[in-house]
C-alpha cells in the first residue's frame, strides 16, 4: 500500500495559530469589541480547544497590538486610537520601503510578472473586496524578498494587527493608489532602487494621512 503522502497541510498548522487567526478576525471584524474582556476559559470552550492554545494566541495578539494583557488580570481588546493609526502608518512608511530596497535584487522574473499581474487586476476590478485582497498581495510581495528576518517579522506583525480594508473607506483612494503602484512598479523594473523606495514611502504616508483626515469627520 502506498504510504499516505503529507497532503494534509491544513491539519499541520498549529492549533494556537488557528486560534490566533480566529480571534484576530473576530477583533478586526468587530465581533469582539474594544474594551471587552477575553476570558480564556470562555474562548477555549467557544472555539472548542483547551486553554493553552488560547493563551499562546492571546500573547501573539498582544505583540500585534490587538489586545493588552496584565499578569493575573487577563486580556482585553485594545481600543485602536488615532494615535495607533498614525504610528502604524509611520512605521510602515519606514519599514516597508527598507525591506523593498533590500529585496529588489532578489526579485525573480516570476515575482515581477506577479507584481505586474496584481497591478493590472487592481486597475481592472470593480469589486472592493477583490481590490483589497490584491492590494495586500501586492504589498506583501514588495517587502517579502528581503533577507532580513527581523525586519520582515516587524512588518508582518504590524500588518496582521490592523484591518487591511480600512483604506477603502476613502473615496478616490483607489485611483491615486493605482497611479502610485504604477510608479513603484516602473521604478522596480528600471532597477531604480532608491526611487522605488521613495515612491513606496510616499504611497504609504499619503494613505495614512488621508485615512486620518477621513476619520476626523
Among 25, 51, 116, 175, indicate the residue that binds DNA (CB under 7 A): 51
Q: Closer to DNA by CB, 31 or 124: give it.
A: 31
Q: What is the CB-side half-sphere exposure of residue 180 using CA atoms within 13 A? A: 20
| Minimum distance, C-beta of residue 26 to DNA, in the bound complex (Å) | 16
12 binds a copy of itself (CB under 8 A): yes
Among 11, 150, 171, 172, indicate the residue that binds a copy of itself (CB under 8 A): 150
63 binds a copy of itself (CB under 8 A): yes
70 phi and psi, to 5 degrees? -130, 140
Q: Tell whether the torsion through CA atoms of 83, 89, 94 and 95 is positive or negative.
A: positive
Site stretch for DNA (CB under 7 A), options 35-43, 105-113, 121-129, 165-173 = 35-43
| Minimum distance, C-beta of residue 203 to a copy of itself, in the bound complex (Å) | 19
Site stretch for DNA (CB under 7 A), options 45-53, 98-106, 124-132, 191-199 = 45-53
Taking the C-alpha atoms of residue 88 and residue 68, their distance in angstroms, rounded to an integer, is 17
Residue 75, C-alpha cell as written in the block: 486580556
43 binds a copy of itself (CB under 8 A): no
Among 49, 94, 163, 174, indicate the residue that binds a copy of itself (CB under 8 A): 94
User: Residues in contact with a copy of itself, total (CB under 8 A)?
Assistant: 24
| Minimum distance, C-beta of residue 169 to a copy of itself, in the bound complex (Å) | 22
Question: What is Dmax (Cα atoms) for the chain?
Answer: 66
50 binds DNA (CB under 7 A): yes
What does 11 bind: a copy of itself, DNA, none (CB cut-off 5 to 8 Å by kind)? Answer: DNA
Tell me which residues touch DNA (CB under 7 A): 11-12, 14-16, 37-41, 49-53, 55, 69, 71-75
Tell me which residues touch a copy of itself (CB under 8 A): 12, 14, 52, 56, 59, 63, 65, 71, 83, 87-88, 90-91, 94, 98, 147-151, 153-154, 157-158
Amino acid at each position: 500500500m502506498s504510504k499516505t503522502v503529507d497532503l494534509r497541510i491544513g491539519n499541520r498548522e498549529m492549533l494556537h495559530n488557528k486560534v490566533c487567526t480566529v480571534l484576530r478576525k473576530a477583533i478586526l471584524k468587530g465581533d469582539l469589541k474594544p474594551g471587552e474582556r477575553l476570558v480564556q476559559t470562555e474562548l477555549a470552550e467557544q472555539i472548542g480547544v483547551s486553554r493553552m492554545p488560547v493563551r499562546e494566541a492571546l500573547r501573539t495578539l498582544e505583540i500585534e497590538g490587538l489586545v493588552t494583557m496584565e499578569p493575573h488580570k487577563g486580556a482585553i481588546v485594545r481600543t485602536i486610537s488615532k494615535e495607533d493609526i498614525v504610528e502604524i502608518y509611520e512605521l510602515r512608511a519606514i519599514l516597508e520601503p527598507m525591506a523593498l530596497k533590500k529585496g529588489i535584487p532578489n526579485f525573480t522574473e516570476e515575482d515581477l510578472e506577479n507584481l505586474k499581474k496584481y497591478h493590472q487586476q487592481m486597475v481592472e476590478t470593480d469589486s472592493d473586496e477583490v481590490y483589497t485582497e490584491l492590494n495586500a498581495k501586492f504589498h506583501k510581495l514588495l517587502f517579502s524578498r528581503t533577507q532580513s528576518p527581523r525586519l520582515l517579522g516587524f512588518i508582518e506583525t504590524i500588518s496582521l494587527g490592523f484591518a487591511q480594508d480600512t483604506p477603502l473607506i476613502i473615496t478616490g483612494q483607489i485611483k491615486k493608489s493605482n497611479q502610485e503602484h504604477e510608479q513603484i512598479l516602473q521604478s522596480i523594473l528600471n532597477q531604480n532602487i532608491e526611487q522605488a523606495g521613495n515612491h513606496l514611502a510616499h504611497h504609504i504616508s499619503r494613505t495614512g494621512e488621508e485615512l486620518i483626515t477621513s476619520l476626523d469627520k
